[in-house]
Amino acid sequence: EKGGYEHFMLKEIFEQPRSIMDSMRGRLIADQNHLMMGGIREYANKFVAADRILIVACGTSWHAGLVAEYLFEEFARIPVEVEYASEFRYRNPVIRESDIVIAISQSGETADTLAAIELAKSKGATIFGVCNVVGSSIARASDAGAYTHAGPEIGVASTKAFTAQVTVLTLMALMVAEKRGTMENSRLRQLMVEMENIPAKVEQALKLDAKIQHIADVFKDVPNFLYLGRGYNFPVALEGALKLKEISYIHAEGYPAAEMKHGPIALIDENMPVVVIATKDSSYEKIVSNIQEVKARKGRIIAIVTEGDDVIPDMAEFVIEVPAADEALVPLISVIPLQLLSYHIAVMRGCNVDQPRNLAKSVTVE
Ligand code: F6R
């Protein structure tokens, strides 16, 4: 059942080229200019008219929601707020009938997310579910939705569900942008083609496994990790830190790289590993300065960079090169080495990676 892999988590990490492809199947055919999500079609007018999107989710799904915020705002020019379902539901939030609420959940059973959409529904908002489990409670409670076709995710730490969520949300943002006319046609076409190339790039990124094992061996005994990213890679930093915490029990924090100087920089010394996701994008120069700030304080830098980067390798202790991609699509690739890093560190520490202590695959308590 683990298909020759030692753990479900590793199997699921390696399934991602396939699960991403499955999540696009029938929805995107770039050379035919076909981009269609069945679930959105009926609600297309609502999305076109929406003056706000609220995203509710928990954990890793909330991180996918953060990526979606960047995507919907950049492509479709709709303001987005990303909410922890557990905070949203208890704070008497402002919800309007014109709001579209996107609920993201792998299991479709997360109690807080379900309660958040029930609340939003009672205020007349339109609920759109992005779930992996077919027929789950959240899928059923939604007005419409799009399934992620990641297949069953058994490992408690979410991996392929995250990339499937980001895939579906990217297609949704592109489709809404097309309908709203908020994106240049050439960029839209280019992104459609690039989306189709993502599975092959993820396959490439998976080849980094041996190198990442070596890095894991170097850092497996440290007590703390910091993860930094900017822009589209900021949610990836949060996700990398969460993956490490939950399966290896090493304390880790994800931060927007520019926020470091407002506090966390005080933590940096020669013992602090800092994973910086610094792919070539519009904030590249800025993140290079952030790397310099870490280096000046002797932090141990592990950098995720774009293939061929010739600047950061001189500054970092370890460099992991991932294939180049449009910055809006990079999370699908840059998250892969972080999943592998946490997996290998956890295995080397003798942790039960598929069933970490105190965690459950679906959190049906509030
Ligand atoms: C992290 C993880 C959890 C879930 C969270 C939401 O690896 O597994 O943080 O992402 O409990 O679960 P779903 O997506 O099922 O609503």
Q: Does position 1 have pLDDT exceeding 90, yes or no? A: no
Pocket test for ligand 1, best of 163, 363, 364, 365 (most atoms within 8 A of CB): 363
Q: How far is the CA of 84 from the centre of ligand 1 (A)?
A: 12
pLDDT band at 41 (very low <50, low <70, confident <90, very high): confident
Q: Does position 149 have pLDDT exceeding 90, yes or no? A: yes
State residue 357's pLDDT score.
Answer: 86
Pocket test for ligand 1, best of 7, 84, 106, 338 (most atoms within 8 A of CB): 106
DSSP H helices in the chain? 8-14, 16-24, 38-41, 44-49, 59-71, 85-88, 111-122, 137-141, 160-180, 185-206, 209-219, 234-248, 284-296, 331-348
Q: Please, which residues have CB within 8 angstroms of residue 16's CB and are 6 or more apart in sequence?
A: 159, 160, 163, 199, 202, 206, 336
Residue closest via CA to ligand 1's atom 4 equals 59
Pocket test for ligand 1, best of 84, 110, 238, 364 (most atoms within 8 A of CB): 110
Q: Do residues 306 and 321 lie in contact, with contact meaning Cβ atoms separated by under 8 Å?
A: yes
Q: How far is the CA of 302 from the centre of ligand 1 (A)?
A: 26
Residue closest via CA to ligand 1's atom 16 equals 105
Residue closest via CA to ligand 1's atom 9 equals 59
Which residues lie with the beta carbon below 6 Å from any ligand 1 atom?
A: 58-61, 105-107, 110, 113, 156-158, 242, 246, 362-363
Q: Is the pTM of this model over 0.90?
A: yes
Arithmetic mean of pLDDT over the chain: 96
| Alpha carbon distance 172, 275 (integer Å) | 30
Q: How far is the CA of 78 from the centre of ligand 1 (A)?
A: 26
- For tokens 């774009």, name the residue: 306
Ligand 1 atom nearest 57 alpha carbon: 16
Ligand 1 atom nearest 138 alpha carbon: 16
Across 94-101, average pLDDT: 96
State residue 255's pLDDT score.
Answer: 97
Token pair in block for residue 80: 């987005």
Using DSSP's 3-state secondary structure scheme, residue 60 falls into helix
Q: Does position 129 have pLDDT exceeding 90, yes or no? A: yes
Q: What's phi and psi for 57, nearest 5 deg?
A: -170, 175
Q: How far is the CA of 362 from the centre of ligand 1 (A)?
A: 7
Q: Checking DSSP bridges between strand 126-131 and strand 318-322, what pairing results, if any?
A: unpaired
pLDDT band at 361 (very low <50, low <70, confident <90, very high): confident
Active-site residue 295, yes or no? Answer: no
Residue closest via CA to ligand 1's atom 3 equals 59
State residue 42's pLDDT score.
Answer: 86
| Alpha carbon distance 318, 138 (integer Å) | 42
Q: Does position 273 have pLDDT exceeding 90, yes or no? A: yes
Which helix H or strand E contains 276, and what residues bound it? strand 273-278
